[in-house]
Chain A
Amino acid sequence: MENKCENLSLYIIGELSVDERVQFEQHLITCNHCRIEVNSLKETWQMLSYDVEEMDVPESLKAEVMDFIFQENSTESLVQAKETENKGSSLTQAKTAENLATLEVQEGKLKKRSYLDGLMAFLGKQFSPLSTGITAVLVLGVIGLFWSNHQLKENIVVLEYKASSQTQIVRTFDLKGLNLAASASGSAYLLEEGRDTVLVIDLSKLPSTKDEEVYQVWLLKNGNRQSAGTLKPDPNGNGIMTSRLPKDLSFDDIGITLEPTPNNTQPQGQKVLGTS
């Protein structure tokens, strides 16, 4: 707080940067002391300008000042010239018309130029280098905001996807051992992860496999079989397999066979586990 009160004098004499001034004006809202001081000290500062000897102004100055200002606007002085010319009755009409035509052409050119000049002058007057800077910063800020907004939206999409991709178990199956794997058992889980369907097979007490032998998982639908993958058990007889399934695949039962070789399209070996 103390620090900001120190800026009072800089504020009065207009030596604060724009940022500092805005900050100080906010400080003024909360600081009684500064608020009480500021107006009367500003007035004092302005009164210093009356510490001046009155001078006589040169008579010729007015014409010089007005010429200086109105030469800035050549179109205007041309129009005035045209008006004067119109009043000049001593000129012949032809001569006047000729002059007017020339004047109009010049005027046209000047107008074109003066639109540009006018625009530049307008911009120059409307926007000090400082406000141009501020505008640039604001424009960059807006672009930045759009960009971060865009990024944020993408993040949200990803998050939504993640949220919707929470894994859900939609179906479980008990698998019972048959035949030479009568002691084996296991479970199968049908999971939905977002838009994907995943089958997880978790088996235990599987007889170990020899050579190229694998356990192959089949999905059964109306007597048709489709392979869902193969697995080899670990030395303790446990085996896990996950398989990503096509979206529209449906099946009623799961059967597992012991195949002599991997990657068979139809079962050749004996059925060793199944849902029923």
Chain B
Amino acid sequence: MKSKTDEELIALINQKHRPALEELYDRYVKLVYSFSFKLTKGDREKTKEIVQQVFLRLWTTKRTYNPLQGKFANWILTITRNIAIDIIRKEQKQPGMVQLELNEWWQMEDRETEDVPQQVSRNLLKQQIQEAKQHLSEPQQRLINLLYWEGYSLSEIAKLEQKPLGTIKSRLHQTLKILRNYFSKETGGVPHGK
């Protein structure tokens, strides 16, 4: 199991091979757990619920993972975020906007394999993100927080901020562009818009 690639493991999981699931768990649980822990603001019970749902999803998915679609870590994090936000929104009794399976896959499409996370370690990435975030204005930082980590939709944020949706949309665009520019500086130039 240890020598198998993520792709091979997912193929085995599709054939209901339990040890393959356990191996994937060993590889990715730390990432999924840490990420969920932040999303739930440190709620260990909810974190456990999310982790269970993520690996159940892996166990029951009929999709095969193809490395050309992108990094496995990104895929599992996308699943994790969608599940977490779904759970958070259900608790807030807000109608869910997240379409689970669909989003997880389309977000992975057309991705080049040689992306940043493969070149540097997670900790280095984290450092870079925090440095890049320092170049964001206060409203831009708030936007990323509400949107990415709190799971608010753009229109909800527009209401919270009492700004037109168009303003929030362009604020998001600006924010992503700034972050991209600083990421690429730190990593010696990720090609833009390849």
Contact = CB atoms under 8 A, between A and B. Distances in A.
B188 interface: no
Interface string B18-29: 100110011001
B30 A55 contact: yes
A117 interface: no
Contacts of B191: 40
Interface string B53-84: 00110011110000000000010011001000
Contacts of A69: 21, 52, 55-56, 59
B51 interface: yes
Interface in B146-194: 147-148, 153-154, 166, 169-170, 172-173, 176-177, 179-180, 183, 190-194
Nearest to B171: A9
A267 B148 CA distance: 102
B166 A57 contact: no
Given A41-B180, A57-B29, A61-B33, A50 B193 contact: no
A6 B166 contact: yes
A215 to B, nearest CB: 83
Contact of B194 (A40, A66, A130): A40
B109 to A, nearest CB: 9
Contact of A46 (B52, B97, B107): B107
Nearest to A53: B34
B29 A49 contact: no
Contacts of B88: none
B172 A9 contact: yes
B1 interface: no
A196 interface: no
B37 A55 contact: yes
A128 B29 contact: no
Contact of A12 (B61, B101, B176): B176
Given A39-B112, A65-B25, A51 B126 contact: yes
A128 B169 contact: no
A70 B102 contact: no
A128 B74 contact: no
Nearest to A32: B193
A60 to B, nearest CB: 10
A61 B183 contact: no
Nearest to B98: A14
Given A21-B106, A49-B81, A50-B125, A39 B34 contact: no
B194 A128 contact: no
Contacts of B30: 54-55, 57
A39 B114 CA distance: 12
Q: Most chain-A CB neighbours within 10 Å: which of B26, B99, B166?
A: B99
A70 B55 CA distance: 11
B144 A48 contact: yes
A65 B172 contact: no
Nearest to B177: A41
Interface in A1-52: 6, 8-10, 12-15, 18, 21, 35-52
Interface in B100-138: 100-103, 106-107, 110-112, 115-117, 122-123, 125-126, 129-130, 133
A50 B166 CA distance: 28
Contacts of B48: 61, 64-65
Nearest to A121: B60
Nearest to B192: A40
Contact of B173 (A8, A47, A57): A8
A83 interface: no
A44 B35 CA distance: 17
B38 interface: yes
13 contacts: A9-B154, A12-B176, A15-B154, A39-B194, A43-B111, A45-B148, A46-B74, A47-B179, A48-B129, A53-B38, A54-B30, A57-B29, A58-B44
Q: Which 8 A-B pairs have the closest CB atoms?
A: A36-B193, A50-B125, A14-B103, A55-B34, A44-B180, A49-B77, A51-B129, A9-B172
